[in-house]
Chains A and B, each alone.
Chain A
């Protein structure tokens, strides 16, 4: 099973509609990153969440981290065609600690959510 599950796998919305993408971890979360990707291109950093209950917003995108549920949600308000793309969540599953820790550099990613916004 996936360590990080995203839902839904794909989403088609009409411009102006709100939408939510969820990311659920099967392991303890020590950090959660959200990225957007256009097909075949690099990942665009959206937000990083570290603490339970943390919520961040950028323009019309808000992300929250629910530590108890080991879950994060990404909410887009009044969607626009420019929001279309693949949304990926990436988790830090290991606590940073002493030298030799295995947390360095490794983000575990979900399979992504493909968002289509119809004008």
Chain B
């Protein structure tokens, strides 16, 4: 069974640009969560999608958005990039999410210059 796949693995963007990251969950998993990891703040929850619906959202500005497709693949978008958005973005996949095993992808390393 294939694991959680995140693409691309690395990205370099310029301040002010926008970026889209992709996450393909484990087959059969319907819940996808996104996290931002930085040295200063650690792992912080961005949002969660289940069956194409956003069920939960963390405390991030509106520049961070996401969506989920009917095949459970998810994308997150960050508009008007700031230097502080440089981070490792991780997605987690689970069958239902509530107290079920959650598996993470390898992450996308975003560098904003």
Q: Point out residues on A near B: beta carbons under 8 Å.
A: 30-31, 33, 35, 40-45, 48, 50, 88, 90, 92, 96, 102-112
Contacts and interface: CB of A to CB of B under 8 A. Distances in A.
Interface of B: 4, 6, 31, 33, 42-43, 45, 47-50, 55-56, 58, 88, 90, 92, 97-107, 109
Among A44, A102, A109, A111, the most chain B Cβ lie within 10 Å of the Cβ of A109
Contacts of A43: 90, 92, 104
A119 to B, nearest CB: 27
Contacts of A110: 42
B33 A106 contact: yes
B45 A107 contact: yes
A106 B102 contact: no
A55 B45 CA distance: 27
Nearest to B48: A105
Contacts of A45: 101-104
A31 B99 contact: yes
A105 B55 contact: yes
